[in-house]
Amino acid sequence: MDPALLNKRDACKYLGGISERTLMEHVYAGRLNAKKLGARVVFEVAELRRFVAELPSWEPQS
């Protein structure tokens, strides 16, 4: 069974290996929602999927 929540480190891995600083910049900018679980910041896998789906497509310059 896949986890429903990921900690910061695992969320960074899920998002292609971004840094925790970049992850939190997305949170503070309102582009990504985080949850508090006790003292921990966690991310719902469904929220990470939504974030990835809304990223702009890359198109090469001709």
Measure the CA–CA gap between 44 and 2, rounded to whole angstroms: 11
Span 23-52, pLDDT tens digits: 999 999 999 999 999 999 999 999 999 999
The CA-atom distances, in angstroms, between 37 and each of 7, 14, 17, 53 are 10, 19, 23, 25
pLDDT confidence of residue 62: 78
Question: DSSP class of residue 34?
Answer: -
Measure the CA–CA gap between 33 and 27, rounded to whole angstroms: 6
Under 8 Å between Cβ of 45 and 7: no
Tell me the sheet residues that pair with 35: 42
Measure the CA–CA gap between 48 and 62, rounded to whole angstroms: 31
Confidence of residue 1 (pLDDT cuts 50, 70, 90): confident
Which position has the higher pLDDT, 61 or 42? 42
pLDDT confidence of residue 25: 98
Give the domain ranges of the chain. Answer: 5-54
